[in-house]
Structure 1
Amino acid sequence: MSAVSSRELRISGLCYLAIIALGLFSEAVARGSLVVPGDAAATARNIAANPQLWRLGLMADVLTQVLDLPIIVMMWRLLRPVNEPLALTAAGLNLVQTAVLVANRVQLLAALDLLGAPAVGAAFLPGQQAALAMLAVNLHGQGLGIGLVFFGFSCIICGGLIAKSGVLPRALGWCLGVAGVAYLVNSFALLLAPKLAQMLFPAVLLPALFGELAVALWLTFKGRAHSATLR
């Protein structure tokens, strides 16, 4: 028997909502307002003029990875009785994703150091600084795509187990599974066909946002009236 209390469900839901909010801030506000796709010079000027916003985006990213951990633990405890090997596989995939994304954030610091650290900047011409900073930003995006491959598979497995569990609504399992497929499509397009990825983004990630938001809201508000127990 495995039991997950309503309090644990609620805390996990709040963590999930915080991850979504922090992710939207870092991607849409911090980086979205500073990075100009295809224009290294403009991007370099924006980052150099707004280093604190860039750092806030990075801090938001790191916090999302910290908040991943209680969700991973809760999902493993919740889904272990349904199929323990698959639940453990999903948790492992999610942990790999978290580790990859944490290491990948160094690219964002590299971009900032290239543009703001005197000792580093002195070694390059201004045009070189901008090009290298843009390279770091682009590498971060590719690293994010690699990390989300692991997360996509984790979502698909968890979605299937949720749909089978009878504890959470079956529709939530399907929503999470669709989110996983969306992440995989986006990541594989980014790695294999970058031009196609540009055409698909951000529409391809809307199902992922909807699916994860649905799960987060259910855990936060509906979960408070439930104590999830599997036998």
Structure 2
Amino acid sequence: MSTRIVDMPPQLAARWAGALYLAIIVGGLFAEAFVRGALIVPGDPAATAANVLQNEGLYRLGFTVHLAYLACAVVVSVILYDLLRRVGPGLALLALCLNLVGIAVEASSLLQLLAPLRVLGDPALAVLPAAHVQAMAYAPARLFANGFGMGLVFFGGFCIAIGTLIARSRFLPRLLGLLMVLAGVCYIVNSFAGFLSPALGARLFPWILLPCLVAELSLALWLLVKGVDARQLP
């Protein structure tokens, strides 16, 4: 391409993308599984409130890590766009837009995770029954999952788009592209299943997301360790 967006050699850019993508995966597992999965108890506002209050530092750390890896995701999106627009400029631009929209949706939904801290620590609400305050704190924390699912619909489209471009390219393995396409389909099916039938979504989760972890981890490690085949770059 005559005009570069990322001001570094493609091989170095690919390795930066891999390192940041790996950080996103680790940060996502920490924030979602280790923090929210442990502190937010489905169907139990009282237990959730107690967990958040007793582990406020960990809860805030989970929020901070989530926000930080979303910032990393923006950088990865731009690097991948710069690399993959050599294969298909239009599809690469679509992938970039889809991921940026997904990041924006997820980031705005992330604000809801601050609500429990605000509500549970507000002296003005001390006059209300404890059960009411706990329910007020619990609802936004659970609602975040819906916003997260909405963001994953756009991210699934991003995965399908870049997977298609990777499969067409000569500088990254075709298998990585096919895995990313599968990951995108799984993300979209998982989100819409949860919206249309929560019971079905609960049965699919977390198994339907295992291909996503395999695909994204494979891509991140390949970019970090191998980078791209510079000889095949257009």
Q: Do the two structures share a fold, i.e. TM-score over 0.5? A: yes
Choose the corresponding residue for 1:75, options 65, 75, 80: 80
Give the equivalent residue in structure 2 for 1:227: 230
CA contact (8 A) 2:170 2:232 kept: no
In structure 2, relative to structure 1, the CA distance for the partners of 1:228 and 1:206 (3 Å cut) is: farther
Measured in 1, the distance between the counterparts of 2:111 and 2:97 equals 23
Instruction: Summarize the alignment of residues 168-187 of structure 1 with structure 2, pairs less than 5 Å apart.
Output: 168-187=172-191
Measured in 2, the distance between the counterparts of 1:201 and 1:105 equals 21
Extract unaligned runs of 5+ from structure 1: none
Measured in 2, the distance between the counterparts of 1:88 and 1:228 equals 24
Pair 1:128-2:120 in alignment: no
Q: How far 1:123 moved relative to its partner?
A: 5.7
Instruction: Summarize the alignment of residues 28-107 of structure 1 with structure 2, pairs less than 5 Å apart.
Output: 28-107=33-112
CA contact (8 A) 2:10 2:83 kept: no
Choose the corresponding residue for 1:24, options 29, 48, 69: 29
CA contact (8 A) 1:151 1:180 kept: yes
- Give the letter for the 1:143 counterpart: G
CA offsets, 1:210-231, max 9 Å, x none? 11000000000011x7437532
Measured in 2, the distance between the counterparts of 1:62 and 1:130 equals 25
TM-score (norm 1): 0.94
CA contact (8 A) 2:102 2:152 kept: yes
Pair 1:165-2:181 in alignment: no
How many residues align structurally?
Answer: 229
Q: CA RMSD in A?
A: 1.5
In structure 2, relative to structure 1, the CA distance for the partners of 1:229 and 1:128 (3 Å cut) is: farther
Measured in 2, the distance between the counterparts of 1:182 and 1:201 equals 11
- Give the letter for the 1:35 counterpart: I
In structure 2, relative to structure 1, the CA distance for the partners of 1:33 and 1:178 (3 Å cut) is: same
- Give the letter for the 1:180 counterpart: G
CA contact (8 A) 1:22 1:60 kept: yes
In structure 2, relative to structure 1, the CA distance for the partners of 1:200 and 1:165 (3 Å cut) is: same
- Give the letter for the 1:204 counterpart: I
Measured in 1, the distance between the counterparts of 2:211 and 2:149 equals 16
- Identity across the alignment (%): 47
